Amino acid sequence: MFHETDTFWRSRERPKLGRALRMKLDKKNLPKNSEIQWIGRVSGEFFTFVCQPSDKHKVKVVTMDMWRTYKDVVNAQLPGRDIVVDRWHVIRMANEALEAVRKQIRKGLNTRQRLKLKDDRFILLEREHNLSSEQREKMQSWFDLHPELAMAYEAKENFHRIYSCKNKNEAQEFARAWMRSLPPAIEPAFEASRTALLNWWGEVFNFYDHQITNAYTESVNRLAKDINRMGRGYSFEVMRARLIYEKQARKPTTKLRGRKPKGKSQPGTMARSVGLEKAPRTVEYGPHIPTLCDLLESGHFS
């Protein structure tokens, strides 16, 4: 069982508390019986919500960001379970380091150059294999003017490649080589990335043992926040109802279940065949996330 919980709504009256939604990572819909309630960002209340005592034995792996309290709760309440730091939270650090180098360079440019480098930042954040020839030319022009930007881009790309290795041992060796190869000119910008990698070494590379991600939960969390923003004043109860009980979003995940007869009944066996038939029933799996996204983009929740 893989569960992830995130807080997505806070109250002005109770700023230290938030609303959280517990998700199953292997589903593409919001469970109709999803629990949403007040929780505090303290280990006891948080864990009571995330994992009921009767569910402990079902939890095999936990995925999270690099927040120490999450780790402390899991180690205390679920000893022996593997923790996987979600890869998005890891590679984001390299992107932030590249941005720090870009912003430092930008300070020494004139107004026109600053605006141009700001516009081209998306090219720098893009993976190299996704760049067009025109984008490569633009990027190379900046590299020719500012070699440290080229160093930072190469360091960012190599950091991403930690997740492209064949196995865990190869990935760990690659990461060690990456840390040793950082040029002194950009080392301060990537210091936070290196420190976090060392502090969460085991949890980062557990990805190669359990290739799971909490990207789905992060997406649902973002969707909930956007619906709340578009509502401009929704109470939490209304926002929760629109998120979980939206009729249009529930249609794609509503299915008719039942055993169908196989072939034609033979004389004298009809009663026995009918007796074995199960009455069809309607099963709802909760709102379909892509449909909720489409409704949000169309202004349905405004």
What pLDDT sits at residue 198? 95
Strand 36-40, strand 17-24: pairing: antiparallel
Rounded Cα distance, 42 and 194, in Å: 28
Which residues pair with residue 38 across a beta bridge?
A: 19
| Average pLDDT over all residues of the chain | 77
Which residues pair with residue 85 across a beta bridge?
A: 64
Model confidence over 227-284: pLDDT tens digits? 777 766 667 677 777 777 777 777 776 766 665 555 555 555 554 444 555 666 777 6
**Res. 1: pLDDT tops 80:** no
More confident residue, 141 or 10: 141
**% of the chain at pLDDT higher than 90:** 36
**Res. 16: pLDDT tops 60:** no
3-state SS, residue 111: helix
Under CATH, what is the fold of the domain 1-85+213-302?
Nucleotidyltransferase; domain 5 (3.30.420)
**Res. 97: pLDDT tops 60:** yes
| Listed range (40-54, 105-119, 168-182) with the worst mean pLDDT | 40-54
pTM summary value: 0.69
What pLDDT sits at residue 142? 93
Neighbours of 202 (CB within 10 A): 12
Model confidence over 114-128: pLDDT tens digits? 888 888 889 999 999
Which residue has 């502090």 as its token pair? 199
Rounded Cα distance, 146 and 20, in Å: 45
Over range 75-82, report the average pLDDT.
86
**Res. 29: pLDDT tops 80:** no
More confident residue, 50 or 254: 254
Highest mean pLDDT among 17-26, 72-81, 187-196: 187-196
Over range 138-164, report the average pLDDT.
95
Phi, psi of 200 (to 5 degrees): -120, 30
More confident residue, 277 or 69: 69
More confident residue, 156 or 234: 156
